[in-house]
Structure 1
Amino acid sequence: MENVTLRMLAEKLQLSTATISKALNNSHEISKETKQRVLALATELNYVPNPYASSLRKKSSSTIAVVIPEVADSYFAEAINGIETIAQEKGYHVLIYLTHENFGKEQAILRDFQSGRVDGILISVTTETAAAKHDLEQLAKEIPLVFFDRVCEEVAAAKITTDDVESGYKATEHLIANGCRNIALLSVSKNLSISNKRMEGFQQALAAHQLPFSESAVTYCSNDAAANHALIKNVIQLHQYDGIVATTEKLSTAIYLVCEELQLHIPNDIKVIGFSNLSTARFLNPSLTTITQPAFDMGKAAATLLFKALKSSGFNLQEENLVIPSTLMVRNSTVGK
């Protein structure tokens, strides 16, 4: 049977979790009538207080959570290093939670935080998260929360991002400047704001150079490597693209494998640019031209904001919005040797 939480009681009675907690602790701030309503429902649902959460409400856990889709992507590995740098300075522990692009798993992780296990949250959401922003909205009101990289634009919370529209434009314009006229964009989600912004930049660059945009030029991939390989192979054969913008690291390397299989030479037959922080990008054959995100700095900035909020209850965390530019690193996959 599912454990009954303060939040469940709050939702059923349409009260805040703070009011429920005070009522259960017989606070003088709560009316007798409200206390009776809360106690009656708590008894009916067999509510049992969480002693661990109770102790944490009285004393900091000295722990923050980092919720990310994966660690295999070098962006997140670098971002974690940036977060750890600040957390160690503050004497805090960092718990890493992986969602593996699964919204259900992300929801379960976020529900666990309601127990008071962590003092604050840094999160980069899954490709599916936009469908249920309301849970994040509520959580951001209860616990200091900062989005980084993948954000929910609609949620009132601090956000650390890079210039995704400008980066999408820059990547596409670079391909155009090097002779590409039939360019594809590989994306991972129709929901993620960063995916949509990178596509927006892609469209703007095509328009600025009087090149037509077609919906078929955008291919949405998944978290299934085998399915992505087949999909990328199919679109390249069907449309004979001469340039591809890959909006994630995994898709960049997938293109190399497909081109090898199709005996297409990069960059003579097709030019490739990818959003990637892969340290080995320069060692690929040919070396990969990248849009490199300031992952370490983004992690540091996100953690710095979080600790400001933890230090001062008067700090308006929700109003914070920082954009740190990415960098175009030109290598042989777009210009040749």
Structure 2
Amino acid sequence: MSQLTIVDLAKKLGLSKSTVSRAFRDNVDINPATKARILAMAEEIGFSPNVYASSLKANKSLTIAIIIPEFGNKFFSQAIKGIEAVARSKGYHTLIYVTDHQVQNEASIVRSLANGRVDGVIISASGEGKDHSHLQLLAERGIPVMFFDRAYDDWKGGYITGNDFDSAYLATKHLIDNACKRIAYLAINPNVSIGKVRKDGYEKGLQEVGIPIRPELILDTVNDADQNMKDIAHLIEREKPDAIFASVERLAISSIRVAKQLEIRIPEDLKIICFSCLDIADLIDPALSVVKQPAYEMGQLVTKYLLDKMEDPENTKFANSVYLDSQLIFQKSSLK
């Protein structure tokens, strides 16, 4: 039996080839009842469209690139799940690239993608840097870009992120409400957008109740666990903070390890809270207080926006940033 074609299916249904084609592309410009009838008949006669051939004719790769700073963070693994769920539902594949927080690596990856290997790019910024001309290259090649979680100050498009300022402010207020007065703020690469915003929220929480901002309690450390533990130990021994607000989860874990080494009790001597998507925060001893970001939902939404942008790149909605609410979960590590 010869292979069935979209023309055969259209003839059987008494519809035009373009109408049948729109049903398989999940086009919104088709009556839902008509679409259901087309798909039901396709199932009945065993017809399956050649998506790959269609993509070649349309000069599309049906592939989306995801560029992230790191894998070793639960936030990104959850965000990728959200991205892939939406991408797969629309017939797209994904390629994942990791920059190790280096903007030069990001630039190299973007230049390699600008040859048309992908139809769109989703990025979480690697580091601030000064030269982001690689993003302009994508624009020149007509490849849509959407940022999530982290963006650059000179990025003119919108992006999907969490309400980090409000969350950092509320986390700081929580520590203050639990009798903390010397609250240390720990960050890695504070020049990235989220680092700045979270620090601003922390400072607002202090200023609102008249606690001075002490630069000596603000630690800018590194990704390396051994080095950041040394930096945290030095901070604790020198400045004697009564609380630590970590902008990323790995710094909270390092702080717990340092406290154990120094025989500092949590939460009696030192309270801790951090931004984190850890599912096992309640199993840490003591249970870790967290600002839990909607990582999966962020991944879903940024992918929906990218796909919309690919269809309608001039739509002004893509210049607006979208802020999703995080969940503050207060557990033993930050309570009186």
Shift, 1:260, TM fit: 0.5
Shift, 1:64, TM fit: 0.1
Shift, 1:226, TM fit: 0.9
Q: 2:312 aligns to what?
A: 312
Q: CA separation of 1:138/1:316 partners in 2, compared to 1, >3 Å: closer, same or farther?
A: farther
Q: Give deviations 1:275-329, integer Å, cap 9, x for gaps.
A: 0001111100001000111101111110000011122344346413211011110
**2:149–2:161: 8 Å Cα contact kept in structure 1?**
yes
Structure-1 separation of matches of 2:314 and 2:132 = 25
Q: Any idea what SS the aligned residue of 1:161 has?
A: strand
Shift, 1:155, TM fit: 1.2
Q: 2:151 aligns to what?
A: 151
Structure-2 separation of matches of 1:314 and 1:183 = 45
Q: 1:333 aligns to what?
A: 333
Q: Any idea what SS the aligned residue of 1:180 has?
A: coil
**2:309–2:318: 8 Å Cα contact kept in structure 1?**
no
Structure-2 separation of matches of 1:93 and 1:84 = 8
Matched to 1:273, the amino acid is I
Query: Mind listing any 5+ residue stretches in structure 1 that lack a counterpart?
Result: 1-54
CA RMSD of aligned residues (A): 1.6
Using the aligned pairs only, state the percent identity.
Answer: 35
Q: Any idea what SS the aligned residue of 1:132 has?
A: coil
Q: Any idea what SS the aligned residue of 1:115 has?
A: coil
Shift, 1:153, TM fit: 2.9
Q: Give deviations 1:170-211, integer Å, cap 9, x for gaps.
A: 111110000100010001123211101111111111010110
**1:137–1:156: 8 Å Cα contact kept in structure 2?**
no
Q: Any idea what SS the aligned residue of 2:114 has?
A: helix
**Runs of 4 or more off by more than 4 Å in structure 1?**
55-58
Structure-2 separation of matches of 1:157 and 1:139 = 13
Structure-1 separation of matches of 2:267 and 2:164 = 24
Structure-2 separation of matches of 1:220 and 1:314 = 39
1:211 paired to 2:211: yes
1:119 paired to 2:129: no
Q: 1:132 aligns to what?
A: 131
Shift, 1:100, TM fit: 1.2
Q: Any idea what SS the aligned residue of 1:71 has?
A: coil
Any residues of structure 2 matched to 1:6-17 within 5 Å, and which? none
Query: Mind listing any 5+ residue stretches in structure 2 that lack a counterpart?
Result: 1-54
Q: 1:68 aligns to what?
A: 68
Structure-1 separation of matches of 2:253 and 2:286 = 11
**2:111–2:137: 8 Å Cα contact kept in structure 1?**
no
Q: Give deviations 1:129-177, integer Å, cap 9, x for gaps.
A: 3322232244245310000001113212230011111111111111000
Q: 1:98 aligns to what?
A: 98
Q: Give deviations 1:31-72, integer Å, cap 9, x for gaps.
A: xxxxxxxxxxxxxxxxxxxxxxxx979511000000001122
Q: 1:47 aligns to what?
A: none
Q: Structure 2 length normalisation: TM-score?
A: 0.80
